[in-house]
Structure 1
């Protein structure tokens, strides 16, 4: 992780990546112009995540160029901007972007500005959420394992924690460290289970134990890694019969095998910034027809729940197995050997007593023209909680 970069002494703008989630290779800082590219570190190929801190630029007009070989390095709503150390974010807007550059005027009294591809969600955000709900009797914080670098990997439990619950669900996020918008969705789902006042939230609290791994690649989240296509393969492809490279995925495997039945397993992701599947939420189809039928029942409930919300999900956007990139080639290693790899979804199909298992992709900035941000992502998470309740209850959340 780089920290501070030299600048022209006549223009003392400082650019820093030495904070949780920071990522960039700073190529040049020239007066009021910053040139950077995403730091790929151990990524195979190319990816798009970057996040920087700028100091000493208050009141100035900045231009930032994001150089990337494999596609855009700026999203469809421009970069995300934070003036309070990454706690709150807004989009700068598409009008700020020209090609691979964006421009902004730094507010006069803003001594520290964070700029990013997306709206960061790191351990600080999770800690604030847990602190705000620390007194809640239906939330417990435990330890799944420790990461390669010794960080604790959180295992949250909420809902029905009394003995053997009628139903159990596993939720996972950040198999790919850079996919931060999925964490805002997950937080919205958890908040709704803990504090929602509708029939679905009450049903979940009474009937379901939710087991949650918020950060699977906890080291990558802290370091600001891409995480996607990490060499020799990333966390999301680490569920094969060879046993797993990473402590987190090994522990999740054991959790699924040893805990007893999981009625649903839901793995949250964000899509590639490029291509037609970016600006929508969608389920990624599994190879097994029976499970895909079950996922489509969950999808029908989610479509109904989001129809009147800020972000709309449409079943027509789903990607059945064998469609577009969702085919066998997507589950081969990218190290030139084309070794078959196993996802969590595929592991669930073959191991343990597991019901519906699904991968949900959630966009970074835009869903069918509606703005994706921290508030709308949380609202989507609440809708997902209600849909999950309806799916698990079978005939409605008021029954079962």
Structure 2
């Protein structure tokens, strides 16, 4: 009789409502960043903010794993801006941390966007339905050093003649890697030189995804890509500020220097010095023509655009090449502004001259074009596919640009 009673109790328990696992937030992995404000398993609600890493730049990047989900149920994640001073007396404005749509993944590989979040009292709440017991959420689709490693190895496998190189080690002894390919077997013919790099600001993950789109186009069998490789040598570095990316820090305005304010005669960051040395060598060998630094802008800037030099200070030769690159980009890149912008927010000429684009202009031949491509992130296209589409379109723009030799001056420009 006692056994029958126990069996009945067991069956009753099995038939009863399932007990949900506790919701748990973790960010102790590559690129992770989150400070938990509150968790309510019963209400299926979580509130987080970016981890404040003093001295490591803008505290706007957040990326975490949430476990304990019930498949099919709806959950809410609220994100608040980081609190406190991140450098000296600076507190970051909220809009940098609160994208209209968060990045979401149920496998930490394939990233989509949530529906548009609801903003209230300086925070934003995203809602989603659980497709598995765990989910990853982030400010934008993460692009990590491990992502870069996979990308470069895949590119090498698809284009065996390409060379993966180590630009340098970081201050924390992490490798900064890139890939070189194109007309490397015809250097005596002085092929065109193209340098594309991303992530001088670690939080700007979209820049690396744009770079991935560019690389995938540039190594492809597209006739324009094949032609470009036949007459140029391309260097691509997917992540410059590897340390801050790996540690889940923002990087911009970091101590002792912003990565993109370190381009002078005594750079703090070894990877900046190494890039300078390679670029100067290529220019000395008359094999350098185009420099593009990939970034993401502010939250309100939805389009893509180039930061360029002060056009009034350019020679006719320089203006000819800058105008032509812009025209090629406008022809190919969706939502591309039809004019160069100038970084008027930079406080003085001394700081301006320490930016990568300006340094390249000041240390290379007159015909060289040096620009920053800013791709809007706070928009429906601010995802893996959207960024990579911009990258492919950038490649097409570059291919068009080199249909003419930028080293030759038009007769009417003399």
Is this a same-fold pair by TM over 0.5? yes
Aligned to 2:124: 101
Equivalent residue in structure 1 for 2:306, among 278, 283, 286: 283
CA contact (8 A) 2:114 2:128 kept: no
**1:206 alignment partner, one of 224, 227, 230:** 230
User: Which one is further off, 154-163 or 186-195?
Assistant: 154-163
Question: What do residues 22-63 of structure 1 show as CA deviations (whole Å, max 9, x unaligned)?
Answer: 112222223333222222313488542211111112334332
Does the 8 Å CA contact 2:176/2:242 hold for their aligned counterparts?
yes
Query: Taking structure 2 as the reference length, what is the TM-score of the superposition?
Result: 0.80
Cα separation, 2, equivalents of 1:387 and 1:340: 27
Alignment of 1:51-130 (within 5 A): 51-59=63-71, 60-68=73-81, 70-72=93-95, 73-76=97-100, 78-85=101-108, 87-94=109-116, 96-99=117-120, 100-108=123-131, 110-130=132-152
Runs of at least 5 residues in structure 1 that lack an aligned partner in the other structure: 1-8, 333-338
2:75/2:130 contact within 8 Å kept: no
Structure 1 residue ranges (4+ consecutive) displaced by more than 6 angstroms after TM superposition: none
Structure 2 equivalent of residue 22 of structure 1: 32
| 1:182 aligned partner | 207
5+ residue gaps, structure 2, are: 1-18, 82-91, 407-414
Task: Return closer, same or farther for 1:293/1:53 CA change in 2, 3 Å cut-off.
Answer: farther
What number of residue pairs does the alignment pair up?
Answer: 361
Report the Cα distance in structure 2 between the residues aligned to 1:46 and 1:381, rounded to whole angstroms: 25
Which one of 362, 369, 372 corresponds to residue 356 of structure 1? 369
Aligned residue for 2:395, secondary structure, equals helix
Partner residue of 2:293 out of 257, 261, 267 = 267
Shift of the 381–146 alpha-carbon distance from structure 1 to 2, 3 Å rule, reads same
CA distance in structure 2 between the partners assigned to 1:88 and 1:292 by the alignment: 42
In the TM superposition, 1:214-363 aligns within 5 A as 214-241=238-265, 243-259=266-282, 260-261=285-286, 262-273=288-299, 275=300, 278-287=301-310, 288-290=313-315, 291=318, 294-306=321-333, 311-316=334-339, 318-319=340-341, 321=342, 326-329=344-347, 342-353=354-365, 355-363=368-376
Change (3 A) 1:14 1:376: same
Distance change in 2, residues 1:293/1:221 (3 Å): farther
Bigger Rg, which one: 2
Q: Distance in 2 between matches of 1:151 and 1:46?
A: 21
Instruction: Quote the residue 1:170 is aligned against.
Output: 195
CA offsets per residue over residues 70-111 of structure 1, 9 Å max, x none?
A: 1223213x11101112x11111021x4233232424425x12
CA RMSD of aligned residues (A): 2.5
